[in-house]
Structure 1
Amino acid sequence: MTATLTLNNGVEMPALGFGVFQTPPDETTSAVEAALTTGYRHVDTAAAYLNEREVGEGIRRSGVDRSDVFIESKVWISDYGYDKTLHAFEKSARKLGVDQIDLFILHQPVPSSFDTTIDAYRGLEKLLADGFVRAIGVSNFRPTDLATLFEHTGVVPAVNQIELHPYFTQVEKQNVDAEHGVLTQAWSPIGGITSYRGSSRSAFDDPVIGGIATQHGKTAAQVMLRWHLQQGRSAIPKPTRPERIAENFEVFDFELSADELAAIDALDTGVRGGPDPESTSRETFKLEIPEA
């Protein structure tokens, strides 16, 4: 059993996705295969993860029909620009081994040269119009980024994928997304990003989440994923061990109460764990995406 969300253009997307951020290529194929065998039908990758080829191989090895798998990938900032973004699709599609990508999004805004971001999004609009992608969107976009995008483009993004977990809920962003019919999708949905900067606070060990988990006979990770799903978000956890892959999928057989949801909401610290979109530039992220 899984749950689906309807994007603003009518496309159905599984709410719970399987992420491969920071998954080494040599582990990605087996992880994706295990996820699809478990029941996931949504895989989230990106050109910048450098593992699209292995994602495609994992999908093929799983035996699950391509038409039953929702593939999401992202254009990296080195490929922003109208023509370059069209070519970015070709690179991603060839690596994935597919003709069509279900959801294709811009990985970051580039505040210092937002004109290239707009040109890249216009490239996404062309890919959508020509049927090479089924939906388009953005990632890490702030309300100001969305406002500028709306002024210069014609298709409202289907998705805005942002850092979102109990310690960083970005309520304003969620509200702006919802106001415009943009689905909020959570990366680092169970707070793993908070440990990357040496933080001693982990959502996995939070007593509030732990108490709720005990009440339901579930794990902290399952409670956090259920919190996202009940509040209408898409979530993209990224485990690699088969037992964790299976555990994260077992979130459709219980329900959190309104008080429990509110208690998790109240854990927000307003502190970002991942990179600040304001600092994104070609200079700070020196990565070129190789050809297929």
Structure 2
Amino acid sequence: MTKSKVLLSLLVFSAMTLSSISFASASGNTARDAKAHFTNEVIEAPVDSSTQAYSLQVQFRQTLQAPADLSSEELNDLVSTMQITGWEYNALENIFERYVNYEGLNVSASGTDGLVQNTATTDQEGKVVLPAPSGEELQLQISDPETNMKFTRDIHTGNVDSGSVTIDLDYTSMLENDAKYMLHKSGSSISPMASSTNPYWSEGEAGVTGKRLHCNRFNGPKGDNKYWSHFSVQGLKNFVGSDCDTSASVTLACVADDLPLVPNHCEAGIAPNKANSKEATCSGEQGLSRYFHFR
């Protein structure tokens, strides 16, 4: 089969500080534009001339900042633990990174007139095939119907062999804010705070089955199942393999919790056995208890 090809020159970005990401309200209206940091990168996508279609893969690079000033032994031990759920250490950036694909994202291409020419939905591998556009100057928009997050790129067509779009999602601030959500405001010592009626935890509090909480982010199988700052070594070990870590690999809703004007996926305040509760939502979606539990 003879193939003509398309070159997509895209700007790859860091998603948690991105100006090209817009967030819409439940009504669908754009609510805000976040700031962005851009780097230039060539993205390539093949075109099948017989069907006049082009395809690309949309993948996300999740990142977590590594704790500072670790000894070689501490770092090696943490790297080994993080690899359990696919997090690899990037020494150049001093981060942990993991590549994931999300199914069900809407991908569209618009011409210079702003009219949407083509729309398709990503499959389980994050792949999408769109009919070949009528013009060379296009805008590619990737949107998540669950969170209303939108990622926009300007593209120019050309001749290449293969392609993908990589979007950076920084989970560092999400885990930093977890301390704000879960830490008991009146307690600073290691003393029991959480209970079957109280979803807030004190620093260093040990997990007990049945306690309420904002999110099961520290019940990973290689951790000590205590609530610690997630940017300690122990805190990251507790996160790896937790209900939250597992959920983050299949939905954008977890990272969206850290963004303004986006409805929280998990949220303390209403007990799981009550209507409209959002406590440990990600656990419930996996068929697990929405109270603290061990994995």
Which of the five TM-score ranges fits, normalised by the shorter chain? under 0.3
Which structure has more strand as a fraction of its residues? 2
TM-score of the two chains, using structure 1 as the length reference: 0.26
Higher relative contact order (CA 8 A, sep 6+): 1
Q: Which has the greater radius of gyration?
A: 2
